[in-house]
C-alpha cells in the first residue's frame, strides 16, 4: 500500500468546483431533457443537484402561472403532463436570472425564438459557460444560412455542441473530447443512449431538414397514398437532406446520415411526429386550413418546426440557384404557402414541369 501523504489528503478534500446546469426552454422536449438531466445531476458528484429550467411564462386556464404550477407539482402540466420532472428541477420565468450561476447551458426552444433569446443573454452568462443545443432548425441571414449552434456560439461567445437523434437513441456531437464526456454524462440514462461524434454541421442539418421531409410524409398520409409512396418520399427526402448538407458544408460526412440523428430520426418523425400529424390534417383539408390554425388547434401551444424550416430552406435554394436540384424541399414549401395543392407532392411534373416525378430521375448527386 502506498504511504499516506497528509498534505495530499488535505488537498484532495478540497472538492473541485461543481457544474451547474440551466435548461433554456420548457416545452415537450425541454421538459424531457430536464427530467433526464435532473436524474443524473442528483447522482453525479461533479454536478450541483439543482437544475434550473427557464419557462416562457404563461397563464393557465386555471388562472395560475405555469412556473408556479411546475414548482408546486413538479410537473409541466401543459407540455409534459403526467410526468414528474424530479424535485431538483426549479422553474424560473426570468431568463437572465435562470442562467446567472450556470456553466452548462442546455438550449431547447423552438428555433424561431432563439435569435431574441440570444440577444437577451448577451453579457448575462458566466465566462466559463459551455452550451449545447437540442434545437432543430436554422436561421437564414443575408450572408447565408446560420445553424442555431452557430448563432449561440457567435452571439454569446461560447462553445456550443449539439445533441440530435431519434427520441430513444440520441447522439451528441462536438469536437472537444473532455467537454463531450461531460455532456454525455449529463444526458445518458439506461433508456437514453448518447454517444459523441464530430460532424456538428451534419448532425444539426439532419435534425433540421428531416422536419421538412416529415411535412411531405404527412401530406402523403393525408392523401391516403399508402406506404410505398411514403417510403419513396422519405427516400428522396433523405437524398435531398444529404445533398443540401454537403453542398452547404463539404465537411459533412455520409455516415452521419446512417446515425440516429439521420435515418432513424427521419423515420421516427415521418411516422409519429407533430410535423407529420399537422401536415396530414392540412392535406385532408385540401390546404384550406392554414398550418398556423392547425398548429394552434392540434398542438395546444407546442410548435411546428417543419413549415418555417421549409421556407428557410427555400430561401437558401432560391438565393443559391439550386431550386431545381431539390424538388421535394421546394414543393413542400410551395404547398405550405398555398401555391401548389397537397397532391403536388407526388405530381411535380404536372404542376411544375421542371421538377422530376417522385421515383423518377433526380437532378441531385
Ligand X SMILES: O=P(O)(O)OC[C@H](O)CO
Closer of 92 and 295 to ligand X (Cβ):
295
Does the annotation place 30 within a ligand binding site? yes
Distance from C-alpha of 163 to C-alpha of 130, rounded to nearest angstrom: 14
Does 28 sit near ligand NAD (CB under 6 A)? Answer: yes
**Calpha distance 333→321 (Å, rounded):** 16
Shortest distance, CB of residue 276 to ligand X, whole angstroms?
A: 6
Of the pair 95, 164, the CB lying nearest ligand X is at 164
Set of cell numbers at residue 210? 428531416
From the list 36-44, 238-246, 261-269, 310-318, the region that binds ligand X by CB under 6 A is 261-269
Q: Residue 218 binds which one of ligand NAD, ligand X, none, with CB within 5 to 8 A depending on kind?
A: none
- Nine cell digits for residue 77: 402540466
- Distance from C-alpha of 148 to C-alpha of 125, rounded to nearest angstrom: 18
Cβ pair 287, 335 in contact under 8 A: yes
Tell me: does residue 25 bind ligand NAD (CB under 6 A): yes
Q: What are phi and psi of 33, to 5 degrees?
A: -60, -40
Does residue 47 sit in helix, strand or coil?
A: strand
User: Was 239 annotated as part of a binding site?
Assistant: no
Residue 151 or 206 having the CB closest to ligand X: 206
Gap between the Cα atoms of 320 and 9, Å rounded = 62
What is the three-class DSSP state of 164? Answer: strand
Based on the residue annotation, tell me whether 354 is a catalytic residue of this protein: no
Q: Does 109 bind ligand X (CB under 6 A)?
A: no
Out of 137, 145, 196, 273, the residue judged to bind ligand X by CB under 6 A: 273
Q: Which one of ligand NAD, ligand X, none interacts with residue 269, CB within 5 to 8 A by kind?
A: ligand X
Given ligand NAD, ligand X, none, residue 30, with its beta carbon under 5 to 8 Å by kind, binds: ligand NAD
Q: Are 294 and 282 in contact (CB under 8 A)?
A: yes
Region of residue 150 (phi > 0: left; psi between -120 and 50: alpha; otherwise: beta): alpha
Q: Which residues in 315-354 contact ligand X (CB under 6 A)?
A: none
Residue ranges that bind ligand X, judged by CB under 6 A:
136, 166-167, 211, 214, 265, 268-269, 273-275, 305
The set of catalytic residues is 210
Task: Show binding-site residues.
Answer: 25-30, 56, 113, 136, 169, 274-275, 303, 305
Amino acid at each position: 500500500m502506498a504511504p499516506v501523504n497528509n498534505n495530499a489528503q488535505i488537498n484532495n478534500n478540497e472538492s473541485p468546483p461543481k457544474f451547474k446546469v440551466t435548461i433554456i426552454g420548457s416545452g415537450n422536449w425541454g421538459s424531457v431533457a430536464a427530467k433526464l438531466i435532473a436524474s443524473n445531476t442528483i447522482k453525479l458528484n461533479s454536478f450541483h443537484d439543482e437544475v434550473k429550467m427557464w419557462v416562457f411564462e404563461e397563464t393557465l386556464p386555471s388562472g395560475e402561472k405555469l412556473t408556479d404550477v411546475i414548482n408546486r407539482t413538479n410537473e409541466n402540466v401543459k407540455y409534459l403532463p403526467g410526468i414528474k420532472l424530479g424535485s431538483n428541477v426549479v422553474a424560473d420565468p426570468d431568463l437572465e436570472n435562470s442562467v446567472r450561476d450556470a456553466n452548462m447551458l442546455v438550449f431547447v426552444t423552438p428555433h424561431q425564438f432563439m435569435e431574441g433569446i440570444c440577444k437577451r443573454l448577451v453579457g448575462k452568462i458566466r465566462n466559463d459557460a459551455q452550451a449545447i443545443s437540442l434545437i432543430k432548425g436554422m436561421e437564414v441571414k443575408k450572408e447565408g444560412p446560420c445553424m442555431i449552434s452557430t448563432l449561440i456560439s457567435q452571439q454569446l461567445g461560447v462553445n456550443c455542441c449539439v445533441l440530435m437523434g431519434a427520441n430513444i437513441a440520441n447522439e451528441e456531437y462536438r469536437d472537444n473530447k473532455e467537454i463531450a464526456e461531460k455532456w454525455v454524462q449529463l444526458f445518458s440514462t439506461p433508456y437514453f443512449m448518447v454517444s459523441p461524434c464530430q460532424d456538428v454541421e451534419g448532425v444539426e442539418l439532419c435534425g433540421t431538414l428531416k422536419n421538412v421531409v416529415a411535412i411531405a410524409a404527412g401530406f402523403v398520409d393525408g392523401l391516403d397514398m399508402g406506404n410505398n409512396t411514403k417510403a419513396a418520399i422519405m427516400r428522396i427526402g433523405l437524398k435531398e437532406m444529404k445533398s443540401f448538407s454537403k453542398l452547404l458544408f463539404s465537411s459533412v460526412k455520409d455516415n452521419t446520415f446512417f446515425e440516429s440523428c439521420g435515418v432513424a430520426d427521419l423515420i421516427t418523425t415521418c411516422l409519429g411526429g407533430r410535423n407529420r400529424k399537422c401536415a396530414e390534417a392540412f392535406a385532408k383539408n385540401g390546404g384550406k386550413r392554414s398550418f398556423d390554425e392547425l398548429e394552434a388547434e392540434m398542438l395546444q401551444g407546442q410548435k411546428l418546426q417543419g413549415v418555417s424550416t421549409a421556407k428557410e430552406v427555400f430561401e437558401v435554394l432560391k438565393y443559391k440557384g439550386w431550386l431545381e436540384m431539390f424538388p421535394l424541399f421546394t414543393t413542400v414549401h410551395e404547398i405550405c404557402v398555398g401555391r401548389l395543392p397537397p397532391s403536388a407532392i407526388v405530381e411535380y411534373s404536372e404542376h411544375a414541369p421542371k421538377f422530376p416525378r417522385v421515383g423518377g430521375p433526380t437532378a441531385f448527386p
